[in-house]
Amino acid sequence: MNEKEVKERERVSELYQIEDELHKKGIELVGGTDEAGRGPLAGPVVAACVILKPDVFIDHLNDSKKLSEKRREEVFKEIVENALSIGVGLSDVAEIDEINILQADYRAMKRAIAAMKTKPQFVIGDAVEIPDLGIDQKPMVKADAKVAAVAAASIIAKVTRDHIMRVYDSVVPEYGFAKHKAYGTKAHYEAIEKYGILPIHRRTFLQKRIEAGKLVAREREVAFEDPNQIMNDFLRQYGLPD
Protein backbone atom coordinates (compact mmCIF):
# COMPACT_ATOMS: atom_id res chain seq x y z
CA MET A 1 0.00 0.00 0.00
CA ASN A 2 1.57 3.30 -1.10
CA GLU A 3 1.50 6.59 0.85
CA LYS A 4 -1.54 7.93 -1.01
CA GLU A 5 -3.50 4.74 -0.30
CA VAL A 6 -2.51 4.85 3.37
CA LYS A 7 -3.72 8.45 3.72
CA GLU A 8 -6.99 7.59 1.97
CA ARG A 9 -7.56 4.68 4.31
CA GLU A 10 -6.85 6.91 7.31
CA ARG A 11 -9.32 9.50 6.00
CA VAL A 12 -12.09 6.93 5.60
CA SER A 13 -11.31 5.42 9.00
CA GLU A 14 -11.91 8.83 10.62
CA LEU A 15 -15.44 8.87 9.16
CA TYR A 16 -16.38 5.95 11.42
CA GLN A 17 -15.28 7.58 14.69
CA ILE A 18 -18.58 9.22 15.63
CA GLU A 19 -20.56 6.06 14.93
CA ASP A 20 -18.03 4.01 16.91
CA GLU A 21 -18.47 6.37 19.87
CA LEU A 22 -22.25 6.01 19.73
CA HIS A 23 -21.96 2.21 19.46
CA LYS A 24 -19.88 2.22 22.67
CA LYS A 25 -22.73 4.08 24.39
CA GLY A 26 -25.12 1.33 23.40
CA ILE A 27 -26.63 3.09 20.37
CA GLU A 28 -26.18 0.39 17.75
CA LEU A 29 -28.45 1.65 14.96
CA VAL A 30 -26.98 4.97 13.84
CA GLY A 31 -28.56 6.38 10.71
CA GLY A 32 -27.00 9.03 8.50
CA THR A 33 -29.29 11.10 6.31
CA ASP A 34 -28.62 13.45 3.41
CA GLU A 35 -30.26 14.74 0.26
CA ALA A 36 -29.46 15.44 -3.37
CA GLY A 37 -31.15 18.00 -5.56
CA ARG A 38 -31.94 20.99 -3.36
CA GLY A 39 -30.60 23.52 -5.83
CA PRO A 40 -31.59 22.37 -9.34
CA LEU A 41 -34.25 24.07 -11.44
CA ALA A 42 -36.06 20.81 -12.22
CA GLY A 43 -36.74 17.35 -10.91
CA PRO A 44 -37.30 16.01 -7.39
CA VAL A 45 -35.22 16.33 -4.28
CA VAL A 46 -34.10 12.86 -3.19
CA ALA A 47 -33.09 11.87 0.34
CA ALA A 48 -31.55 8.73 1.79
CA CYS A 49 -30.92 7.31 5.22
CA VAL A 50 -28.27 4.63 5.76
CA ILE A 51 -27.29 2.48 8.71
CA LEU A 52 -23.88 0.90 8.14
CA LYS A 53 -22.76 -2.39 9.61
CA PRO A 54 -20.22 -1.69 12.37
CA ASP A 55 -17.76 -4.27 11.12
CA VAL A 56 -17.64 -3.20 7.46
CA PHE A 57 -15.10 -0.77 5.95
CA ILE A 58 -16.12 0.85 2.64
CA ASP A 59 -13.21 2.14 0.58
CA HIS A 60 -13.41 5.64 -0.95
CA LEU A 61 -16.45 6.59 1.14
CA ASN A 62 -16.83 10.37 0.98
CA ASP A 63 -19.18 13.28 0.41
CA SER A 64 -20.81 12.44 -2.93
CA LYS A 65 -19.77 15.82 -4.38
CA LYS A 66 -16.11 14.92 -3.92
CA LEU A 67 -16.34 11.73 -5.98
CA SER A 68 -16.40 11.33 -9.73
CA GLU A 69 -19.58 9.91 -11.23
CA LYS A 70 -17.83 6.61 -11.94
CA ARG A 71 -16.46 6.35 -8.40
CA ARG A 72 -19.85 7.30 -6.88
CA GLU A 73 -21.55 4.48 -8.72
CA GLU A 74 -18.89 2.00 -7.61
CA VAL A 75 -19.21 3.06 -3.96
CA PHE A 76 -23.03 3.06 -4.30
CA LYS A 77 -22.88 -0.67 -5.02
CA GLU A 78 -20.52 -1.27 -2.09
CA ILE A 79 -22.89 0.59 0.24
CA VAL A 80 -25.91 -1.40 -0.96
CA GLU A 81 -24.05 -4.68 -0.48
CA ASN A 82 -22.73 -3.82 2.98
CA ALA A 83 -25.28 -1.56 4.69
CA LEU A 84 -27.48 -2.84 7.47
CA SER A 85 -30.44 -0.79 6.27
CA ILE A 86 -31.15 1.77 3.53
CA GLY A 87 -34.17 3.93 2.83
CA VAL A 88 -34.75 6.39 0.00
CA GLY A 89 -37.52 8.94 -0.42
CA LEU A 90 -38.26 11.96 -2.56
CA SER A 91 -40.38 15.05 -2.88
CA ASP A 92 -41.56 15.86 -6.39
CA VAL A 93 -41.74 19.19 -8.18
CA ALA A 94 -45.39 19.84 -7.34
CA GLU A 95 -44.67 19.40 -3.64
CA ILE A 96 -41.51 21.53 -3.80
CA ASP A 97 -43.47 24.38 -5.40
CA GLU A 98 -46.32 24.00 -2.93
CA ILE A 99 -44.44 23.92 0.39
CA ASN A 100 -40.91 25.20 -0.52
CA ILE A 101 -37.69 23.26 -0.96
CA LEU A 102 -36.72 23.11 2.73
CA GLN A 103 -40.05 21.60 3.81
CA ALA A 104 -39.94 19.26 0.82
CA ASP A 105 -36.45 18.21 1.89
CA TYR A 106 -37.74 17.35 5.37
CA ARG A 107 -40.54 15.25 3.88
CA ALA A 108 -38.14 13.40 1.59
CA MET A 109 -35.93 12.56 4.58
CA LYS A 110 -38.89 11.34 6.64
CA ARG A 111 -39.97 9.15 3.73
CA ALA A 112 -36.45 7.75 3.43
CA ILE A 113 -36.45 6.78 7.11
CA ALA A 114 -39.98 5.37 6.85
CA ALA A 115 -38.84 3.17 3.93
CA MET A 116 -36.17 1.46 6.04
CA LYS A 117 -36.86 -2.07 7.19
CA THR A 118 -34.61 -1.51 10.20
CA LYS A 119 -35.14 1.95 11.66
CA PRO A 120 -32.35 3.98 13.32
CA GLN A 121 -32.21 4.68 17.04
CA PHE A 122 -30.29 7.88 16.35
CA VAL A 123 -30.00 10.04 13.22
CA ILE A 124 -27.15 12.31 12.15
CA GLY A 125 -28.07 14.87 9.49
CA ASP A 126 -25.95 17.11 7.28
CA ALA A 127 -26.64 20.45 9.05
CA VAL A 128 -30.34 19.60 9.10
CA GLU A 129 -32.63 18.85 12.04
CA ILE A 130 -35.79 17.14 10.82
CA PRO A 131 -38.91 18.50 12.56
CA ASP A 132 -41.17 16.08 14.44
CA LEU A 133 -39.04 13.08 13.58
CA GLY A 134 -39.66 11.15 16.79
CA ILE A 135 -36.08 9.83 16.79
CA ASP A 136 -33.09 11.32 18.61
CA GLN A 137 -31.01 13.26 16.12
CA LYS A 138 -28.01 15.52 15.76
CA PRO A 139 -27.41 17.98 12.92
CA MET A 140 -23.76 18.40 12.02
CA VAL A 141 -22.20 20.87 9.58
CA LYS A 142 -20.52 19.07 6.68
CA ALA A 143 -21.52 15.73 8.14
CA ASP A 144 -21.33 14.19 4.67
CA ALA A 145 -17.55 14.63 4.85
CA LYS A 146 -17.23 13.71 8.56
CA VAL A 147 -19.59 10.80 9.26
CA ALA A 148 -19.57 7.51 7.37
CA ALA A 149 -23.33 6.90 7.38
CA VAL A 150 -24.05 10.46 6.18
CA ALA A 151 -21.47 10.15 3.41
CA ALA A 152 -23.13 6.88 2.40
CA ALA A 153 -26.56 8.54 2.39
CA SER A 154 -25.26 11.37 0.22
CA ILE A 155 -24.02 8.84 -2.34
CA ILE A 156 -27.24 6.81 -2.33
CA ALA A 157 -29.33 9.97 -2.78
CA LYS A 158 -27.09 11.43 -5.49
CA VAL A 159 -26.82 8.29 -7.61
CA THR A 160 -30.58 7.71 -7.36
CA ARG A 161 -31.43 11.27 -8.36
CA ASP A 162 -28.91 11.22 -11.22
CA HIS A 163 -30.66 8.13 -12.56
CA ILE A 164 -34.01 9.93 -12.50
CA MET A 165 -32.50 12.86 -14.40
CA ARG A 166 -31.04 10.50 -17.01
CA VAL A 167 -34.49 9.02 -17.54
CA TYR A 168 -35.85 12.54 -18.05
CA ASP A 169 -32.97 13.21 -20.43
CA SER A 170 -34.05 10.26 -22.56
CA VAL A 171 -37.41 12.00 -23.07
CA VAL A 172 -36.06 15.51 -23.76
CA PRO A 173 -32.34 15.19 -24.59
CA GLU A 174 -32.26 18.76 -25.90
CA TYR A 175 -32.32 20.07 -22.32
CA GLY A 176 -29.10 18.29 -21.30
CA PHE A 177 -30.37 16.86 -18.01
CA ALA A 178 -27.93 13.95 -18.13
CA LYS A 179 -25.05 16.42 -18.12
CA HIS A 180 -26.05 19.23 -15.73
CA LYS A 181 -28.68 17.31 -13.70
CA ALA A 182 -31.02 20.36 -13.97
CA TYR A 183 -28.76 22.80 -12.15
CA GLY A 184 -28.95 26.43 -13.28
CA THR A 185 -26.19 26.37 -15.85
CA LYS A 186 -26.02 28.72 -18.80
CA ALA A 187 -26.84 25.82 -21.12
CA HIS A 188 -29.91 24.91 -19.06
CA TYR A 189 -31.33 28.43 -19.08
CA GLU A 190 -30.71 28.66 -22.82
CA ALA A 191 -32.57 25.37 -23.33
CA ILE A 192 -35.53 26.65 -21.30
CA GLU A 193 -35.72 29.80 -23.42
CA LYS A 194 -35.41 27.84 -26.67
CA TYR A 195 -37.63 24.84 -25.91
CA GLY A 196 -39.90 25.94 -23.05
CA ILE A 197 -40.64 25.33 -19.38
CA LEU A 198 -41.40 21.67 -18.71
CA PRO A 199 -43.81 20.15 -16.16
CA ILE A 200 -40.75 18.94 -14.22
CA HIS A 201 -39.36 22.48 -13.82
CA ARG A 202 -39.72 24.12 -10.41
CA ARG A 203 -41.79 27.24 -11.07
CA THR A 204 -40.79 28.78 -7.74
CA PHE A 205 -37.14 28.52 -8.76
CA LEU A 206 -37.75 30.30 -12.08
CA GLN A 207 -40.24 32.91 -10.88
CA LYS A 208 -37.83 35.71 -9.91
CA ARG A 209 -35.90 35.41 -13.16
CA ILE A 210 -39.13 35.49 -15.16
CA GLU A 211 -40.49 38.49 -13.23
CA ALA A 212 -37.21 40.36 -13.77
CA GLY A 213 -37.45 39.75 -17.50
CA LYS A 214 -34.27 37.68 -17.50
CA LEU A 215 -36.06 34.54 -18.64
CA VAL A 216 -38.67 34.53 -21.38
CA ALA A 217 -40.08 31.10 -22.04
CA ARG A 218 -43.33 29.39 -22.96
CA GLU A 219 -44.91 26.45 -21.19
CA ARG A 220 -44.23 23.11 -22.88
CA GLU A 221 -46.34 20.03 -22.23
CA VAL A 222 -44.40 16.78 -22.15
CA ALA A 223 -45.42 13.57 -20.37
CA PHE A 224 -42.91 12.27 -17.83
CA GLU A 225 -42.98 9.12 -15.75
CA ASP A 226 -43.67 9.60 -12.04
CA PRO A 227 -40.28 10.06 -10.30
CA ASN A 228 -41.36 7.69 -7.51
CA GLN A 229 -41.85 4.95 -10.08
CA ILE A 230 -38.47 5.66 -11.68
CA MET A 231 -36.83 5.63 -8.25
CA ASN A 232 -38.50 2.39 -7.16
CA ASP A 233 -37.65 0.61 -10.42
CA PHE A 234 -34.03 1.68 -10.07
CA LEU A 235 -33.70 0.67 -6.42
CA ARG A 236 -35.41 -2.66 -7.05
CA GLN A 237 -32.45 -3.64 -9.26
CA TYR A 238 -30.33 -3.57 -6.09
CA GLY A 239 -32.81 -5.33 -3.84
CA LEU A 240 -34.03 -2.11 -2.20
CA PRO A 241 -35.93 -1.28 -0.16
CA ASP A 242 -34.20 -3.77 2.08
- Residue-level pLDDT, tens digit, the chain, 242 residues: 677 777 888 888 888 999 999 999 999 999 999 999 999 999 999 999 999 998 888 988 988 988 999 999 999 999 999 999 999 999 999 999 999 999 999 999 999 999 999 999 999 999 999 999 999 999 999 999 999 999 999 999 999 999 999 999 999 999 999 999 999 999 999 999 999 999 999 999 999 999 999 998 899 999 999 999 999 999 999 999 75
Query: Is 221 inside a domain boundary?
Result: no
Do 96 and 180 fall within a single domain?
no
Q: CB within 8 A of 78, min separation 6: which ones?
A: 58, 59
Do 76 and 117 fall within a single domain?
yes
- Provide the domain count of the chain: 2
Q: Is 46 helix (H, G, I), strand (E, B) or coil?
A: strand
Count of other CB atoms within 10 angstroms of residue 109: 27
pLDDT of the residue at 56? 84
Do 119 and 195 fall within a single domain?
no
CB 223 within 8 A of CB 63: no
Whole-number Å distance between alpha carbons of 15 and 143: 9
Do 188 and 206 fall within a single domain?
yes
Q: CB within 8 A of 210, min separation 6: which ones?
A: 216, 217
Do 95 and 186 fall within a single domain?
no
Do 162 and 197 fall within a single domain?
no
Do 160 and 178 fall within a single domain?
no
Do 175 and 161 fall within a single domain?
no
Q: What is the DSSP string of 218-232?
A: -B-------HHHHHH
Query: Is 104 inside a domain boundary?
Result: yes
Do 134 and 205 fall within a single domain?
no
Query: Is 219 inside a domain boundary?
Result: no
Query: Is 241 inside a domain boundary?
Result: no
Query: Is 217 inside a domain boundary?
Result: no
Do 198 and 160 fall within a single domain?
no
Query: Is 220 inside a domain boundary?
Result: no
Closest-CA residue to 40 (of 177, 168, 148): 177
Q: Which residues constitute the domain of residue 55? A: 3-167+226-236
Do 176 and 153 fall within a single domain?
no
Do 205 and 141 fall within a single domain?
no
CB 96 within 8 A of CB 202: yes
Query: Is 199 inside a domain boundary?
Result: yes
3-state helix, strand, coil in the chain (%, to 5): 50, 15, 35
- CATH number of the domain to which 78 belongs: 3.30.420.10
Query: Is 78 inside a domain boundary?
Result: yes
